[in-house]
Structures are given as C-alpha cells and as structure tokens.
C-alpha cells in the first residue's frame, strides 16, 4: 500500500515504520518532517517505487526503485534521512552516478550500499569536495553491485580525492558488471586498508583486479628528479591489503592479471580463482599463499 507523507506526520510515537511512499515529493516531505519535528522512527524502511528486489536487514534503510524522472539534474533531488544506514537502488535506469541526485545530503551513518540493475550507471560516487554526500561517506562498510551493464569504474578519481573516504570499507561484491576493465587503481587500493572480503564474478570485460604502478616507468619519471621520493614511490608497485581475508574471482573470461606487483596480504585465508581462462600468471603473494585455481 502506498502512503502519503501527511498520513504519517501525526504518528510521533512511531517506533518502526516500513512503507512505500506515494511519489518522490511525498518521500521528500516525509523525510523532512522526520528531521524537522525530530520524530524519526527508531527503525524504518522507506521505499519509493514498487517491486523491491532486495532483502534489507532490520534498521534504517531506504530503497529507490525505477526513479527515472530524477535523472541528469532534472526533477526533484532526493532527500535522505540524516541517519540512514542502508541504501538500495534498482532500475534507476538513467542515473549516471549515485550522488547525482543525493549530492546535497549528508550520509555520515551510511554503512551499506546495494545497487542492482541500473542500466546507465557509469560509476558510484564522485568524491568531490563540493559533494556533501561523498564528503560524508566515512563509515561505508559494504558495497554490493550487480547487473550494472555500463559501469566503467567504481569511483571517480579526481585530483582532490577526499582523504578520509573508504577507509572503513570491509566487504565488496561485484557481479555481472560487463563494462568494467580494471577494478581498483593504486589510489583507491591505498584507502582500502580495512578491506576483508572481495568477491568478483561474471564481469565479461574485466582484465585486471588491482592495477599497480609500473616500476620501470616510475623509475624513468623519477630520474633527474628528487631521488628522495624514490623509496616512498616504489611502494606503489606493491599492493598492501593487511586485513584481506577472502578473495574470490569467478567466471571472468577476459581476466589476464590479478595484480602485476606483489600482493602483501598477511590475513589471507581464502583465495580462489574459478574459470578465468585467460589468466597469464598467478599473482605473487607475500607471504606465499596456496591459491585455489579451477580452470
Ligand atoms: Zn558525490
């Protein structure tokens, strides 16, 4: 049953609420009322659009399904509850990136983000200083992505990549993102020091999981320059993921490299590679780890 914001505003003792709001205007009105009158339910599941494909856990969650009218700066920007912890998107087919319609929101409590079947999504977050949403994403722990046919990269890298984002990210699962070619660049990997589990499957174009700097190329760039930089910079030819416990790579038909440099993963317990027929060589792990490979 769809409800209107005005039907809910008198319910100030509401402890738990789950409902589908009537339209985006109603959704925004209800969230604003939650904030202004300060009677947020302790737990809520606010949904816009029907046919929810997700299975959210009990808590503070919002779900947007088929919100196409809000794309590309047109229509109403969406207001998020200030304490939202879980964000779900599905079939928002014209959105190019998530914060496109959330950029003025603060998302300090956001821990979980799941996106399914958003056709034009090119990347997730802009990580610009001018984006309040990205600037406040310090507590994001889990990202689950599936069937994003146009996704080119996970995070847009800018010269001014925000310094305190992604440091708490622990779980990443990526399925059926057919346009991804390289998953994680050195700048992003340097932030993933809390990453515990990475699972990637059915990404048809994916060639490389972790890119690292090319040592020879870096040497040329540094020759004649301040050689004191060399020690620090050479670390970028290695990969450090100290908390990584599980790495699963499955059904990646174009994968040629997991990582060209050394992978320093002291916590690794599971490393499985299934059906990646073009893989040229297994990555070098430090310490050495027996990789479970199925051709
Ligand atoms: Zn942003």
Q: How far is the CA of 162 from the centre of ligand 1 (A)?
A: 10
pLDDT at 163: 64
Q: Which helix (H) or strand (E) holds 34?
A: helix 24-36
What gap in Å lies between CA 14 and CA 41, rounded to an integer? 5
Q: How far is the CA of 136 from the centre of ligand 1 (A)?
A: 9
Q: How far is the CA of 117 from the centre of ligand 1 (A)?
A: 20
Q: How far is the CA of 199 from the centre of ligand 1 (A)?
A: 24
Identify which of 21, 24, 19 has the alpha carbon closest to the alpha carbon of residue 5. 21
CA atoms within 13 A on the CB side of 194: 14
Question: Which pTM does this prediction carry?
Answer: 0.87
Identify which of 241, 223, 225 has the alpha carbon closest to the alpha carbon of residue 283. 241
Q: How far is the CA of 125 from the centre of ligand 1 (A)?
A: 5
Q: Which two tokens stand for residue 54?
A: 């997700």
Q: How far is the CA of 283 from the centre of ligand 1 (A)?
A: 33
pLDDT at 229: 36
What gap in Å lies between CA 59 and CA 115, rounded to an integer? 18
What gap in Å lies between CA 90 and CA 264, rounded to an integer? 36
Instruction: Please identify which residue in the block is written with the tokens 């494909």.
Output: 53
Q: How far is the CA of 112 from the centre of ligand 1 (A)?
A: 16
pLDDT at 75: 57
What gap in Å lies between CA 120 and CA 126, rounded to an integer? 15
Q: Which helix (H) or strand (E) holds 273?
A: strand 270-274
For residue 54, the 8-state DSSP code is -
Q: How far is the CA of 127 from the centre of ligand 1 (A)?
A: 5
Instruction: State the average pLDDT over residues 43-65.
Output: 90
Res. 76: pLDDT tops 80 = no
Average pLDDT across the chain, whole number: 84
Q: How far is the CA of 214 from the centre of ligand 1 (A)?
A: 30
What gap in Å lies between CA 8 and CA 10, rounded to an integer? 6
- In DSSP terms, 247 is beta-bridged to 198, 271
Residue 51: phi and psi, rounded to 5, are: 55, 65
pLDDT at 7: 64
Q: pLDDT tens for residues 172-203? A: 999 999 999 989 988 888 889 999 999 999 99
pLDDT at 103: 84
Q: pLDDT tens for residues 209-236? A: 998 776 555 444 444 444 433 344 445 6
Q: pLDDT tens for residues 239-291? A: 999 999 999 999 999 999 999 999 999 999 999 999 999 999 999 999 998 99
């Amino acid at each position: 049953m769809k409800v209107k914001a005005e039907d809910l505003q008198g319910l100030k003792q509401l402890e738990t609420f789950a409902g589908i709001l009537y339209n985006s205007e109603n959704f925004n009105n209800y969230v604003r009322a939650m904030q202004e009158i300060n009677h947020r339910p302790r737990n809520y599941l606010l949904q816009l659009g029907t046919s929810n494909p997700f299975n959210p856990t009990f808590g503070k969650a919002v779900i947007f399904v088929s919100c196409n009218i809000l794309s590309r700066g047109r229509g109403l920007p969406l207001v998020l509850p200030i304490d939202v912890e879980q964000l779900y998107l599905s079939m928002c087919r014209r959105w190019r990136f998530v914060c496109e319609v959330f950029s003025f929101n603060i998302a300090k409590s956001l821990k979980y983000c799941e996106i399914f079947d958003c056709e034009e999504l090119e990347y997730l977050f802009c990580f610009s200083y001018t984006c309040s949403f990205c600037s406040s994403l310090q507590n994001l722990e889990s990202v689950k992505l599936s069937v994003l046919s146009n996704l080119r990269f996970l995070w847009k890298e800018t010269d001014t990549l925000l310094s305190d984002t992604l440091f708490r990210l622990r779980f990443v699962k990526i399925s059926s993102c057919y346009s991804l070619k390289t998953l994680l660049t050195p700048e992003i990997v340097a932030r993933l020091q809390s990453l515990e589990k990475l699972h990637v499957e059915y990404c048809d174009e994916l060639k490389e999981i972790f890119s690292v700097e090319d040592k020879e190329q870096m040497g040329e760039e540094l020759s004649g320059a301040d050689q004191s930089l060399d020690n620090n910079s050479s670390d970028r030819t290695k990969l450090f993921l100290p908390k990584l416990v599980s790495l699963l790579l499955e059904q990646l038909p174009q994968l040629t490299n997991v990582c060209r440099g050394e992978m320093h993963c002291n916590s690794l317990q599971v490393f499985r590679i299934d059906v990646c027929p073009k893989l040229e060589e297994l990555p070098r792990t430090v310490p050495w780890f027996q990789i479970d490979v199925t051709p």
